[in-house]
């Protein structure tokens, strides 16, 4: 158990160190192979850990292993502890599994790039960080992994260092995540002040139930989750993050890092259950995000940005699930989403790779005719996204909506939002599919398309996409709520759901969602494929992304800039100049005043002598 957990964690780190120290001594392709091999090794280790857990009883599946005390101060001790339990092993499998597929894909995608070694070093660093996050045995290590994935995300988004837009996007992502780190740190300080510990079991047992402190703790954790998962209001970094290479978008901004927020809520669910107001807030934010993102996705013209907003929207669903207490459902959607979202990004990557890196859907239009394999896998991904039976999304998304129905009037509002969101998903997903992958190829596409040795892309790209397509088809059958639910049973000891929808609610949710989704698909088909309905003009509000970027620019960047400039002019410069001139001025003044007594006249000196003598005489006589 320990060996498997440590192997899983350390293999990717070893890869990073090896590639960094190797430098130009190892070839670029070799760097890619090292990275892929170690990530696959991590996956194997995760499978081993899973199998070992399977062999144990249901209540004996939580294993903590502490290797050394990482930090201590007086009576507080924080160890470097790894946790292997049902929840963490699910995340390990997803991260390492999907991660190894994407790293393998990158070998083909990044082939020929000058800085390929740096890319693979960063990718391995990311896998290590994400595994640390999910395997961390106490909240401090969770925060450590949290920050490190933010760092890896910064490094990978800013991979194209010579592009100012990429560098700016990387900084924006990091700073927003740093804000989330800060709120999480404050929550941890509260926990230390009130319980003196940061280990999961201790914290869950000792933290207060209800009240301001519990609310603040949950709010701090939620702040971190919202920043990491790009939910309202800390979502503006995600679309800009598309500046990174496509596999990065697939791995970090679809499958794993952005789902860390959901993992956090599920992992710390006792803390959130102590503060049900915050849980409801999480669900509400998720619902608002999924609507807003869906609306914005309708008008985007960059293929990756559409998928990015789709990710934002789908994570909104996961937040709804976690916020309503349907933890296994949220985790299930996390898993299936990893499959089909990575698939969508990687299929888009196949298209982008084949058409000289172009990402505009108007220029890529009709490429499906030239790339049939890509068209099919993209279709599979889109169907899974919309939640059409029997693809993966159907089983996972609808169970979340069912849980919403079981939550009273607030849940009903969220259910309505979710249904509208499903409709929008249908529309934007198939808008994308129909524009890019059906119809006649555009002039640009025809001119710039180049096949890779007669195939649509390198082998490494095609087989990994194929595997994900297969998973998107069959992955959903892992859990079909009314009939069989092994995942819920597996997760029950660590994440017992508090929302239990009835079978009727399940069927209702599934039926309505399916119908609504298909109607969205029909609408997209009618507008973009069959041209029966004219495409409406894009709404300015959606195109400007609801003006959030402008708001933040004004509220944070410009105001900080103003304050700093003010401080610099009004405080710093006078302070520095003034302090020195004050000192020299004071001494000069003193000197000038005192030198009046040295007027060069003998008689003044004589007078001084005489009067001094007189005073001293009086003093001595008086002191007698």
Partner 1 sequence: MSWLSTILIFLPVAGAIVVAALPLPRYWVGSLASLISLVEVGVWITSATKFDFGSSALQFDQRQSWVSDLNISYHVGQYAFSVWLVGLTTVVMAACVIYGWWVGRERPRAYFALMLMTTGAVVGVFTAQDLLLFYAFFEAMLIPLYILIGVWGGADRLRATLTFVIYTVVGSLLMLASIVAYGLQQGTFDLTKIGPSSSTWIFLGFVAAFVIKSPLFPFHGWLPITYRESPPEISAVLSGIVSKAGLYGLLRIAIPKFPEVVADWRVALLVLASISLVYGSLLAWRAPDFRGVVLYSSLAQSGLIVIGLLANNDLGFDGAVLQMVNHALMSSSLFLLAGMVERRTSTGEFALLGGMARGRPALATVMMTVGIISLAVPLSTSFAGEFLILAGVFQQQWAWAVVGATGIVLAAMYMLRAISAVLHQDVGSAVPDSALDLRGGELAVVVPLVLCLIGLSAYPNLISGHAFGANKAIVQVSSDTTKLSDATCTKSANGGACQTVMSYAIGPALNIDEPAAWTRYAP
Partner 2 sequence: MRGPDIQWYVILSAILFSVGALGVMLRRSPLIILLSVEIMLNSANLLLIAFSRLHGREDGQIFAISVMAVAASEVVVGLGMIVALGRRNIDLDVDKLRTLRG
- Contact residues: partner 1, CB under 8 A: 20, 23-24, 68-76, 118, 132, 140, 143-148, 150-151, 154-155, 158, 161-164, 167, 170-171, 174-175, 178-179, 181-183, 185-186, 188-190, 192-194, 196, 560-561, 563-565, 567-568, 571-572, 575-576, 579-580, 583
* 608 in contact with partner 2 (CB under 8 A): no
Q: How far is the CB of 187 from partner 1 (least distance, A)?
A: 10
Q: How far is the CB of 503 from partner 1 (least distance, A)?
A: 44
Cis ω before 233 (30° cut-off from 0) = yes
Instruction: Give strand ranges (E) for 483-556.
Output: none
State which residue, 511 or 590, has the beta carbon closest to partner 1.
590
Interface residue with partner 2 among 71, 575, 582, 610 (CB under 8 A) is 610
Interface residue with partner 2 among 607, 615, 618, 619 (CB under 8 A) is 607
State which residue, 578 or 588, has the beta carbon closest to partner 2.
588
- Beta bridge partners, 66, equal 81
Whether the Cβ atoms of residue 515 and residue 355 lie closer than 8 Å to each other? no
Distances in Å between the Cα of 264 and the Cα atoms of 166, 248, 272, 368, 603 are 28, 22, 10, 39, 90
Whether the Cβ atoms of residue 331 and residue 262 lie closer than 8 Å to each other? yes
Residues 557-596 that bind partner 2 (CB under 8 A): 594-595
What does the angle CA 144 – CA 150 – CA 153 come to, to the nearest 5 degrees? 140
Closest CA to 257 of 344, 171, 342, 163: 342
Whether the Cβ atoms of residue 417 and residue 290 lie closer than 8 Å to each other? yes
**Which listed option, partner 2, partner 1, none, makes contact with residue 621 (CB within 5 to 8 Å by class)?**
none
Question: Which residues have a Cβ under 8 Å from the Cβ of 601 and sit 6 or more positions away?
Answer: none
Q: How far is the CB of 117 from partner 1 (least distance, A)?
A: 9
Interface residue with partner 2 among 54, 535, 589, 606 (CB under 8 A) is 606
Q: How far is the CB of 606 from partner 2 (least distance, A)?
A: 5
State which residue, 212 or 599, has the beta carbon closest to partner 1.
212
Interface residue with partner 2 among 73, 193, 537, 602 (CB under 8 A) is 602
**Which listed option, partner 2, partner 1, none, makes contact with residue 572 (CB within 5 to 8 Å by class)?**
partner 1
Closest CA to 339 of 397, 285, 294: 397
**Which listed option, partner 2, partner 1, none, makes contact with residue 147 (CB within 5 to 8 Å by class)?**
partner 1
Q: How far is the CB of 614 from partner 2 (least distance, A)?
A: 11
Q: Tokens 């760097």 — which residue?
A: 31
* Number of Cβ within a 10 Å radius of residue 519: 14
Q: Is 77 helix (H, G, I), strand (E, B) or coil?
A: strand
Q: How far is the CB of 593 from partner 2 (least distance, A)?
A: 11
**Which listed option, partner 1, partner 2, none, makes contact with residue 489 (CB within 5 to 8 Å by class)?**
none
Query: DSSP assignment of 353-376, as one string?
Result: HHTTT--BTTTSTTGGGT-HHHHH
Cis ω before 390 (30° cut-off from 0) = yes
State which residue, 563 or 613, has the beta carbon closest to partner 1.
563
State which residue, 78 or 339, has the beta carbon closest to partner 1.
78
Q: How far is the CB of 577 from partner 2 (least distance, A)?
A: 29
Which string of b and e fits 210-223 if b means at least 16 CB within 10 Å?
eeebbbbbbbbbbb
* Residues recorded for the chain: 624
Instruction: Find the part of the chain contacting partner 2 (CB under 8 A) among 191-199, 239-247, 533-541, 600-608.
Output: 600-608
Whether the Cβ atoms of residue 137 and residue 64 lie closer than 8 Å to each other? yes
Cα 57 from Cα 490, distance rounded (Å): 11
State which residue, 511 or 566, has the beta carbon closest to partner 1.
566
Interface residue with partner 2 among 603, 620, 621, 624 (CB under 8 A) is 603
State which residue, 601 or 621, has the beta carbon closest to partner 2.
601
Q: How far is the CB of 582 from partner 2 (least distance, A)?
A: 24
Q: How far is the CB of 569 from partner 2 (least distance, A)?
A: 40
Q: Give the N- to C-terminal CA distance of the chain in Å, as an integer.
A: 93
**Which listed option, partner 1, partner 2, none, makes contact with residue 598 (CB within 5 to 8 Å by class)?**
partner 2
For residue 273, what are its two tokens? 């259950």
**Which listed option, partner 2, partner 1, none, makes contact with residue 451 (CB within 5 to 8 Å by class)?**
none
* 212 in contact with partner 2 (CB under 8 A): no
Per-residue binding letters, 347-386, with partner 2 (x by CB under 8 A): ----------------------------------------
State which residue, 24 or 591, has the beta carbon closest to partner 1.
24
For residue 550, what are its two tokens? 């402008």
* 600 in contact with partner 2 (CB under 8 A): yes
Interface residue with partner 2 among 537, 601, 622, 623 (CB under 8 A) is 601
Whether the Cβ atoms of residue 553 and residue 237 lie closer than 8 Å to each other? no
Whether the Cβ atoms of residue 405 and residue 476 lie closer than 8 Å to each other? no
**Which listed option, partner 2, partner 1, none, makes contact with residue 579 (CB within 5 to 8 Å by class)?**
partner 1
Q: How far is the CB of 549 from partner 1 (least distance, A)?
A: 17
Q: Tokens 């869906």 — which residue?
A: 294
What does the angle CA 139 – CA 145 – CA 150 come to, to the nearest 5 degrees? 125
DSSP summary character for residue 479: -
**Which listed option, partner 2, partner 1, none, makes contact with residue 345 (CB within 5 to 8 Å by class)?**
none
State which residue, 222 or 352, has the beta carbon closest to partner 1.
222
Q: Is 532 helix (H, G, I), strand (E, B) or coil?
A: coil
DSSP summary character for residue 546: G
Cα 504 from Cα 224, distance rounded (Å): 36
State which residue, 540 or 592, has the beta carbon closest to partner 2.
592
**Which listed option, partner 1, partner 2, none, makes contact with residue 154 (CB within 5 to 8 Å by class)?**
partner 1
Query: DSSP assignment of 373-397, as one string?
Result: HHHHHHHHHHHHHHT-TTSHHHHHH
Interface ranges with partner 2 (CB under 8 A): 594-595, 597-603, 606-607, 610
């Amino acid at each position: 158990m320990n060996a498997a957990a440590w192997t899983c964690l350390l293999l990717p780190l070893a890869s990073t160190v090896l590639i960094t120290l190797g430098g130009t001594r190892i070839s670029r392709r070799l760097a890619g192979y090292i990275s892929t091999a170690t990530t696959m090794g991590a996956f194997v280790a995760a499978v081993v850990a899973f199998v070992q857990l399977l062999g144990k009883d249901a209540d004996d599946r939580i294993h903590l292993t502490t290797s050394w005390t990482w930090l201590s101060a007086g009576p507080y001790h924080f160890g470097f502890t790894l946790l292997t339990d049902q929840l963490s092993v699910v995340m390990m499998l997803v991260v390492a599994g999907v991660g190894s597929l994407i790293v393998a894909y990158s070998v083909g995608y990044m082939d020929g790039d000058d800085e390929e070694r740096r890319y693979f070093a960063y990718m391995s660093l990311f896998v290590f960080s994400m595994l640390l996050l999910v395997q961390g045995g106490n909240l401090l290590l969770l925060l450590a992994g949290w920050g490190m994935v933010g760092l890896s995300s910064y490094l990978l988004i800013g991979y194209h260092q010579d592009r100012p837009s990429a560098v700016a996007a990387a900084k924006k992502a990091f700073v927003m995540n740093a804000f989330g780190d800060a709120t999480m740190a404050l929550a941890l300080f509260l926990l230390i002040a009130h319980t003196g510990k940061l280990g999961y079991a201790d914290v869950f047992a000792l933290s207060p139930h209800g009240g301001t402190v519990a609310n603040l703790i949950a709010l701090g954790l939620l702040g971190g989750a919202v920043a990491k998962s790009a939910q309202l209001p800390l979502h503006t970094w995600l679309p800009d993050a598309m500046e990174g290479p496509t596999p990065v978008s697939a791995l970090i901004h679809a499958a794993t890092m952005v789902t860390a927020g959901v993992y956090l809520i599920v992992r710390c669910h006792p803390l959130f259950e102590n503060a049900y107001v915050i849980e409801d807030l999480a669900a509400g934010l998720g619902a608002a995000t999924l609507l807003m993102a869906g609306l914005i996705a309708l008008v985007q013209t960059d293929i990756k940005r559409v998928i990015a907003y789709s990710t934002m929207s789908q994570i909104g669903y996961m937040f709804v699930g976690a916020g309503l207490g349907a933890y296994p459902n949220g985790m299930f959607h996390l898993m299936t989403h990893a499959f089909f979202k990575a698939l969508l990004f990687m299929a888009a990557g196949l298209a982008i790779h084949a058409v000289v890196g172009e990402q505009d859907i108007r220029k890529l239009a009709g490429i499906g005719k030239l790339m049939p394999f890509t068209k099919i896998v993209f279709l599979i991904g889109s169907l899974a996204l919309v939640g059409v039976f029997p693809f993966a999304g159907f089983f996972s998304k609808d169970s979340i909506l069912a849980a919403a129905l079981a939550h009273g009037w607030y849940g009903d509002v969220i259910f309505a939002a979710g249904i509208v969101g499903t409709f929008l998903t249908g529309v934007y997903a198939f808008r994308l599919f129909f524009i890019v992958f059906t119809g006649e190829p555009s002039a640009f596409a025809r001119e710039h398309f180049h096949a890779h040795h007669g195939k649509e892309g390198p082998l490494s790209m095609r087989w990994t996409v194929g595997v994900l397509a297969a998973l998107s088809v069959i992955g959903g059958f892992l859990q079909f709520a009314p009939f069989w639910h092994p995942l819920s049973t597996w997760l029950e000891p660590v994440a017992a759901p508090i929302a239990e929808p009835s079978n009727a609610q399940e069927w209702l949710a599934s039926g309505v969602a399916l119908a609504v989704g298909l109607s969205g698909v029909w609408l997209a088909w009618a507008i973009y494929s069959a041209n029966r309905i004219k495409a409406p003009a894009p709404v300015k509000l959606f195109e400007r992304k609801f003006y959030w970027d402008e708001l933040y620019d004004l509220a944070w960047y410009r105001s900080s800039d103003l304050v700093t400039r003010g401080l610099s002019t009004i405080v710093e410069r006078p302070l520095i100049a003034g302090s020195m001139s004050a000192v020299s001025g004071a001494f000069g003044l003193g000197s000038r005043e005192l030198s009046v007594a040295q007027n060069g006249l003998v008689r003044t000196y004589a007078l001084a002598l005489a009067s001094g003598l007189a005073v001293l005489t009086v003093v001595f006589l008086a002191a007698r």
